[in-house]
Amino acid sequence: MMIQITQNYERRCEELLEDSQFRFVGIINKLGNLIAGGFRNEITPFETEEKSRMMYMQMVLEVSMRKEFDETLGEIDYIASKRKNALMISIPINDELLLISVNPKSSTEEIVAKAIKVFKNSEDSDGV
């Protein structure tokens, strides 16, 4: 079952990466491990693999800490961080985290809507 879910995640990450705005699309588990996705083929990562892993863990921790306020503020739809070189977006998906890096001039709302369409709208159809 887990292999099938991971394959479904992989397909969805690849679908989003077909859009040239996307630099990176990945699914990060609770332990901060990349379980699906990655960078577009022609993209050179800004960070080393070790620093990327640290960033994944930080993103998971940030979402986890913010969940403390779900009861009063509502569940997190997404967290966005705009930097000079990239727009980073974290979207909770089930027990994992969808992490996206796009061109900093991209529209946050447009990227989130596209990601949710690809990931969340098809959860019921194949167990993701």
Nearest Cα to 119, choosing from 50, 3, 33, 36? 36
- CATH number of the domain enclosing 55: 3.30.450.30
Mean pLDDT of 123-128: 50
Of all residues in the chain, what percent carry a pLDDT higher than 70? Answer: 92
Q: Specify the pTM.
A: 0.88
Residue 102: Cβ within 10 Å count = 25
Asked if residue 101 is part of any domain, the answer here is yes
Asked if residue 117 is part of any domain, the answer here is no
> Looking at per-residue confidence, does 49 or 102 come out higher?
102
Asked if residue 118 is part of any domain, the answer here is no
Helix (H, G, I), strand (E, B) or coil at 57: helix
Find all residues with CB under 8 Å of 6, minimum gap 6, and list them. Answer: 27, 35, 36
Averaged confidence pLDDT in the chain: 89
Q: What is the CA radius of gyration of the chain?
A: 14
Asked if residue 69 is part of any domain, the answer here is yes
Asked if residue 65 is part of any domain, the answer here is yes
Number of domains in the chain: 1
Domain hosting residue 56, numbered range: 2-107
Nearest Cα to 34, choosing from 18, 42, 45? 45
Asked if residue 122 is part of any domain, the answer here is no
